[in-house]
Structure 1
């Protein structure tokens, strides 16, 4: 059978008739790499003899094809981070190593899939806030916040208050979705001034972090709640009555007694002012308004007044209380004796010349 892509041309060389096989078309090694030919040689005798041989033609490769991309899997030299880069566009070049190399290019688009590898960290590990004493149950105290860099359920954060031995957690509640902490009781600062709770943030899917199996990622923070003072306590004197004695010759400005009231509030709510509201005839006494010390403002005179009953009031600006200050003036020998009249007249008989003459003079000393 003739071969369509080659021809045989016998040529005589002496008694040898070599056959030359030549191509009749071009070949593509990538389609067929070899061909097998059956060559028959016949002599010219009346009864010719025939010789047959098989010829295998191998097609030699030449660099006539660009590289083709067949692999759809690629390896990355470094770990991927969805939170840093969510999408890659790669231009890949393939080139052979022939004398005259050929190259091909392809574009690889890589979408990075998020996994739950980030912790919902609180923006602060410690919160300090205050709530007024006596505030209604349900009063909002503070909103805690945690951020998670993951997406979807991986980054959806919920909050809860952890239980501890102090049991402070029972006085507060937290909204799981918003992190708003509210009161579950009304507080009295004079009984307790602060509370400490621990809150936890957690995301909403199983963690992809090493060592965390079947649990979400979590973080914790502490919240210190101070109970701020409200002016809800009146000042109180330790005694309802103070009684003292003072010499009438004490100098003006001398302290007589200090009556100090106590206020269970703090700060400005516990700052007291003192004043005498009654019993201070002629303004003989006054009081240091900041400390409650009663002092002599005018000279004392036992002969004019021996007894005082002062009403001393302490006020914090909203509430007030009072006590009674009894002051007894002690008489001192500060008055010289005086005659009851400037001139006295009397008579005596002349016959009594041998007897002493007596004149009665009346005197008066108020001491």
Structure 2
């Protein structure tokens, strides 16, 4: 088959024979009529349509433009169609079987002669995106995809199709209008983005196709209730825990996202009023004093409710079965929080604060305890006396590196097992003036030949200390080097010229600047600023000279004239040197 041949499906089907010796079933066509386009420049002999039984052309082919091969079933071009542009040939075909008596069926084939299909359909964009909510109703139009084909008539008719990305059939595309619509419900929790590839195919005999990528973004709607995991809780708590101790943190998951996943926790029923729940975090904590001898097990029914608008059930429930254990009471600190301030200049060994705890256990081994700093604080900056609770400095402090230390101090008794109480010690470092300022202006430029007092730049500096140990800063030039005679610097940092500067003599200056802060004691430092002198066209060009040299070789002839030297233009204004020579033979 030639590459330009058009192979269509079988034009007919034959009924299954009945158990009879008579021929009572004629051939049957799949369609009462068939159609194929063909370009006017198609080569003679090109196959158009194939049939699979014995056919005859019985009408519509008076010009003998086409012929039918009875054996192979192909309709082919019999003569040139160049002059038949835009014509439509209607050919009648009869299919006959070989029964006794022979039976037949008829159909027609329309062949339209068209122009060459020169152009491919074109989308205006190579990438198209649309955003829809997951609750979008099936059948709703999402986007209209449009392509243009510069061909006319049938060659310009476009058919749209989704070629990939629609494996689950979520989307439908109108093949004629290009309207993309929803065919099945979306689920944001399953997939948030769908990548489709859409084709646009024209109606040419040899069809041409272009493609566009379509991205459908799915946004979330509140369509999922909270779900607890696990579906039942069995926490344990010691009877001597202080009020506010967290017993368990509930965990409910909402498959929605963002605001649609926000939920609230609530205790619907309880055997005790000693437990409350944080509605936002789901943490259940103690609000009073527990007594295992009175209540050993307490059951709570906890709900997780979706706070948004949702259709149908928006809650889940779970039982929390709390077991209260009898245990050694830990030491209790006299303060839950110690917030102290010390100078960053405090030397190692200096006192930071005292912490104090009490243990009311009646058993002696349970009431003795020692202090320590929690092991997670491993910087070894502070130490604590295990008996007295004195917190001291163990290393050099630097507020500019670490301004605040958050220590967890423990009191561990000698019970079996040991009970531990804790408190928080926040150490805030107070600033001292221990850092000199740093010059941040390192470069400036000024034009040469400027009069004295011309502004060059205003210097700036930084200081890691806190006010009042920072600015305002005082600036001055270090009294060294000849460069100082060219510039003046005010205490506020305004740098100006002191005299006119000739770049051809000095093109760069490096000034040493002293900066002082406002702290007590006052700190200072030295920085360097590079001043570049920019050039002006203030020097004439250097003088130049011209030399003319000529030489002549000739027989000796006394008193012979050499020739005339041409007059030079006056505009040259150059020193002129002329050298002449002559050789005789």
Q: What is the TM-score when the length of structure 2 is the normalising length?
A: 0.28
> Which structure exhibits the higher relative contact order, with contacts defined as CA atoms closer than 8 Å and separated by 6 or more residues?
1
Rg larger in structure: 1
More strand by share: 2
Q: What is the TM-score when the length of structure 1 is the normalising length?
A: 0.41
